[in-house]
């Protein structure tokens, strides 16, 4: 058992778990961190399992909501033969939420299919990653300025299909390494005037189909073998699950009273350093 492999796997697990849910782009950090610690991070099987770990974390944290949403979804399907589907969506917020999550996931799925080669090419482009991190910083900063202009904040009852598609489009753009998925979706929601904590929770719930879909596409890679040994993989998986769960928990506490400007500065600094490193 190689101690270096174990340490590297744990580091990558922590990075994936924490940055998946903080608005600082997990994909960017999984390009930058391996570069800094000297890891040739090209193991798609390990990458897939880290994503599954973050899926476990978000489902674990929102387990009650996930069960309710699944019940609402299947209940709404049973409304179709009875001709009460529209009324059910209109009158039952859980049923409506289940369909908003499904519809909100469509833009990212389509963008992933049609722009797959373009997005994958960016993962090997360190200057692009740094530049997109800086863009994320401005997205977060700008959303706070716009959010401050709303005297009355919107809640879920005010959400409509256009809002859902806009947030879904933002999630699709976050396939690019450097554009934070949680940052883009939360910032879009804030720019539309939605209350902070609601938007963060909706963003995390919306991540479930996205992470599940990405993991499903790469699932075949699990059978292709691992660069890391079994012990390293297991510890990396645990690290990603735990760090992901804690990131969700503490970010939801943070967002209740604080804004996203702190993360803007982080993205600007790390993005700028990344650009500098790429030139050396």
Per-residue pLDDT at 133 exceeds 90:
yes
- Predicted local distance difference test score (pLDDT) of residue 1: 44
Q: CA-to-CA distance for 178 and 168, rounded, in angstroms?
A: 17
* pLDDT score recorded for residue 240: 95
- Worst-scoring range by mean pLDDT, 42-51, 103-112, 221-230, 262-271? 221-230
Tens-place pLDDT, residues 61-104: 999 999 999 999 999 999 999 989 998 999 999 999 999 999 99
3-state secondary structure of 52: helix
Specify the higher pLDDT residue, 247 or 230. Answer: 247
More confident position, 164 or 3: 164
More confident residue, 230 or 252: 252
What average pLDDT does this structure show over 227-239?
79
In whole angstroms, give the CA distance from residue 60 to residue 90.
28
Q: What is the pLDDT of residue 264?
A: 96
Retrieve residue 240's tokens. 């990603």
| pLDDT for residue 8 | 84
| Spatial CB neighbours of 64, under 8 Å, sequence gap ≥ 6 | none
CA distance 108 to 105: 6
Q: How far, in Å, CA of 12 to CA of 254, rounded? A: 24
Specify whether the CB–CB gap between 33 and 126 falls below 8 A.
no
- Going by the DSSP 8-state scheme, the letter that residue 152 receives in this structure is S
Most confident of 50-54, 148-152, 233-237, 245-249: 245-249
- 9 or 134, greater pLDDT: 134
On the question of pLDDT at 214 being above 80, the answer is no
Q: DSSP per residue over 111-143, as a string? A: HHHHTHHHHHHHTT-HHHHHHHHHHHHHHHHHH
pLDDT tens track for 246-261: 999 999 999 999 999 9
How high does pLDDT run on average in the chain?
Answer: 88
Are residues 31 and 173 in contact, defined by beta-carbon separation less than 8 angstroms? no
């Amino acid at each position: 058992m190689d101690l270096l492999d174990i340490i590297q796997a744990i580091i990558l697990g922590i990075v994936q778990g924490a940055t998946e849910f903080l608005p600082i782009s997990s994909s960017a950090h999984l390009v930058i961190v391996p570069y800094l610690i000297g890891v040739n991070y090209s193991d798609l099987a390990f990458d897939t399992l880290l994503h599954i770990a973050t899926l476990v974390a978000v489902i674990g944290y929102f387990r009650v909501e996930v069960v309710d949403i699944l019940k609402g979804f299947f209940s709404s399907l049973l409304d179709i033969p009875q001709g009460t589907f529209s009324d059910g969506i209109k009158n039952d917020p859980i049923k409506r939420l289940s369909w908003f999550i499904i519809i909100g996931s469509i833009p990212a799925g389509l963008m992933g299919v049609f722009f797959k080669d373009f997005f994958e090419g960016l993962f090997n482009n360190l200057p692009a990653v740094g530049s997109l991190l800086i863009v994320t910083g401005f997205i977060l900063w700008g959303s706070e300025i716009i959010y401050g202009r709303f005297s009355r904040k919107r809640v879920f009852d005010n959400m409509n299909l256009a809002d859902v598609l806009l947030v879904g489009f933002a999630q699709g753009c976050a396939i690019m390494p450097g554009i934070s998925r949680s940052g883009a979706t939360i910032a879009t929601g804030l720019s539309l005037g939605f209350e902070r904590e609601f938007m963060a929770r909706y963003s995390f719930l919306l991540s479930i189909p996205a992470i599940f879909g990405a993991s499903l596409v790469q699932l075949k890679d699990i059978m292709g073998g691992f660069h890391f040994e079994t012990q390293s993989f297991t510890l990396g998986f645990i690290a990603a699950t735990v760090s992901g769960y804690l990131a969700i928990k503490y970010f939801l506490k943070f967002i209740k009273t604080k804004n996203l400007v702190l993360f803007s500065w982080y993205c600007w600094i790390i993005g700028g350093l990344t650009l500098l490193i790429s030139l050396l």
